[in-house]
Amino acid sequence: MKLKLFSLLPLIFFINTSAQSYIFGKVVSEENMEMPDVTVINIRTDERVQTNRDGHFMISGRQGDELRFVKADYGRIVQKVADISAPMNITLVRIPIQIEEVEIKKGITGDLKIDSKNLNKPKKVEKLLQDLGLYMSQKSDPRVLAARPGEFVQPVTKGTFSFGKIKNKWDDVDFMNYLTSALGEQYFTDLKIEKSLIQHFIYYVFAGGFERKNILKYGYCSDADLMRFQRAVLTRISSYRAPQTQK
């Protein structure tokens, strides 16, 4: 019995040391705009990654690690990982650039022609202000308020109107293409997934029970859906890498 126990100890040690946890989240500006190319640094391990074009990032680490977020012209932030299972939401604030105000004053010369030119608004400025006032008074183009591509809009009708069953706007291939574009190929490369196997891996995550009915129906993937997919990736990546005999 003791012999069996000692033989299991190396295996337990290998599992504990090879287990890898990931921290994921999103970086936005103070205007709540997604921020790409933000450098994320794990201070403990000095590992560095960059956010993708939607501001998302994933970096290896553990609870208690401190992450530093760096981008030119923005204040640096150091955030401690309190809960590794919850996504981190980071807001970067632009550093204000103060420019010394210079006021140029022209004195009154006593010459009516010169003083009227210096003190009154030029005709070009007056015309510009008039044109702006005319533009602002016009009604907005209805196309400005039109739905974005892939966004579902309920038809507006008078009375009762039946339009039958609504078909899905996306299929699995459309969704896989979106995930590849939104997360970036580097995201899957960091997971040791070859470029030629990215869609195969995504479908493997789908097959594990990833719920996507509403995503396909409306042709729209929210930030919450994207985070949910990343969590599903972390639960399926180890079994995907395992030999076929162990799956």
Average model confidence (pLDDT) across the chain: 79
Pseudo-torsion of CA 176, 181, 182, 185, nearest 10°?
100
pLDDT of residue 164: 46
Neighbours of 125 (CB within 10 A): 10
Report in angstroms the alpha-carbon separations of 199 from 2, 66, 70, 160, 172: 47, 33, 32, 43, 10
pLDDT band for 96, please (50, 70, 90 cuts): confident
**Phi first, then psi: what are they for 146, rounded to 5°?**
-70, 155
pTM score of the predicted model: 0.36
pLDDT band for 108, please (50, 70, 90 cuts): low
pLDDT of residue 128: 73
Domain range 18-92, CATH architecture: Sandwich (2.60)
Summarize pLDDT for 70-87 with one digit per residue, the tens.
Answer: 999 999 999 999 998 889
Q: Where in the chain is the domain with CATH 2.60.40.10?
A: 18-92
Q: Would you say 70 and 39 are in contact if contact means Cβ atoms under 8 Å apart?
A: yes
